[in-house]
Chain A
Amino acid sequence: DGGITQSPKYLFRKEGQNVTLSCEQNLNHDAMYWYRQDPGQGLRLIYYSQIVNDFQKGDIAEGYSVSREKKESFPLTVTSAQKNPTAFYLCASRGSLNTEAFFGQGTRLTVV
């Protein structure tokens, strides 16, 4: 079935460790996005990519890094420089022009 897959669903890491969240889509979408959501708040944009090998910082990119080596994949690394990494991370993809975005089920990251 077509869709967006984020893995894992739950992730626990020790403070100071880098961690990479996976996002894969088989919708043949050009654009992909990473958002962070904290309890009771909206989605804040971390990074987005319109095409392979290109990506732009969103509003809260500090402490995060991404790559877009393949159209299907847009992994997000949460580095030790991110001060408050515990959050719900959502990946989305979007087709051409002004179409809507589709989301993966999200990854809940807890840093202890």
Chain B
Amino acid sequence: RKEVEQDPGPFNVPEGATVAFNCTYSNSASQSFFWYRQDCRKEPKLLMSVYSSGNEDGRFTAQLNRASQYISLLIRDSKLSDSATYLCVVKVGGGKLIFGQGTELSVKP
């Protein structure tokens, strides 16, 4: 089993749609969690950190369920500019940062 697993993509949605990405992790001692965005042939960039209480940034909402070892990202009112690959990232003990394989999102007009 992979340490961090994401929904296989790609997700193809119309503008204005709501889309949800899911991620599970295997290490119950994982310490911190993030969602990154990666545009084609570019480096990943932080989208948002994920806190135990859940957090929201505009159209984006991230949630963490430690009991189920599950992280989610919800994007509301999708824009064309949201088209990218979304990466779930988990930090475990010793500073190791583990990335999921990514889920590609394509938002169509």
Interface set of A (CB-CB < 8 Å, partner B): 31, 33, 35, 41-45, 48, 50, 56, 58, 88, 90, 92, 94, 98, 100-106
Flag if A43 contacts B87 (CB, 8 Å): yes
Flag if B97 contacts A92 (CB, 8 Å): yes
Flag if A43 contacts B99 (CB, 8 Å): yes
Flag if B95 contacts A48 (CB, 8 Å): yes
In the bound complex, residues from chain B placing their C-beta under 8 Å from that of A94 are: 95, 97
The yes or no answer to B44 lying at the interface (CB within 8 A) is: yes
Chain A CB within 10 Å — which of B31, B32, B99, B101 has the most? Answer: B99
Binary flags per residue of B21-49, CB closer than 8 Å to A gives 1, else 0: 00000000001101000000111111001
A42 to B8, CA, bound (A): 11
A31 to B93, CA, bound (A): 13
